[in-house]
Amino acid sequence: MRKHISIVAATLLLTLSPPLWAGELPDWLTGEWLQNAGDRWSEEVWTLPRGGTMIGMGRVGRGESLRSWEVMRIVRAADGSLTLHAAPEGGPATVFPAVEQGVRDVTFANPDHDYPQRIRYWREGRLLMAETSKMDGSGAQNWTYSPATPNGQ
């Protein structure tokens, strides 16, 4: 009987507890990422998690011209929750709380923001995937990033 209670208690604990990775910073995002499409390019760079924060930078361009840039950070609060802070072109940051997190994916959302309202990152093998959209999935923009290498090698 005692063994049966332990198994039931352990099962109940596992189903009620958040997954072990919940609230962890997405270290799989770390690195330099690049998407090229003809003369158009998009880059993101993410630091290693340290001090409850990851710092990111993104820029988009065409040829040698910079079209836009953004500074980002992912922060783990004391309660374990994650938020993405995105500041395009050096403007004020918009906060997107994490709404879903898996082992190699994370989704942030802010339904009060005009666009994007949802930001999702996930890994497919060695590729980093990203998508921005409205809450209902409309207006989706997608990126497929490869690991960047020095001098394109």
pLDDT, tens digit (0-9, with 9 covering 90-100), for 7-38: 444 443 344 334 334 479 999 999 999 999 99
pLDDT digits (tens, 9 = 90+) for 41-57: 999 999 999 999 999 99
Q: What is the mean pLDDT of the chain?
A: 88
Residues in CB range of 32: below 8 A, 6 or more apart: 43, 44, 45, 147, 148
Cα separation of 106 and 100, whole Å?
6
CB count, 10 Å around CB of 124? 10
Fold held by 24-152: Lipocalin (2.40.128)
**Quick one: how far is CA 94 from the chain centroid?**
14
Using CA atoms, how far apart are residues 81 and 107, in angstroms rounded to an integer? 12
d(CA 27, CA 101): 12
Structure tokens at 36: 């090229």
Q: Where are the alpha helices (DSSP H) in the chain?
A: 2-16
Check pLDDT > 80 for residue 2: no
Higher local confidence (pLDDT), 84 or 5 = 84
Supply the DSSP string of 14-57, one letter for each residue: HHHSPPTTTT---GGG-EEEEEEETTEEEEEEEPPPBTTEEEEE
Whether the CB-CB separation of 60 and 69 falls below 8 Å is answered with: yes
Domain ranges of the chain: 24-152
Q: CA-to-CA distance for 73 and 55, rounded, in angstroms?
A: 4
Cα–Cα dist 107/120, whole Å = 4
| pTM > 0.75 | yes
Mean predicted confidence (pLDDT) in 135-149: 96
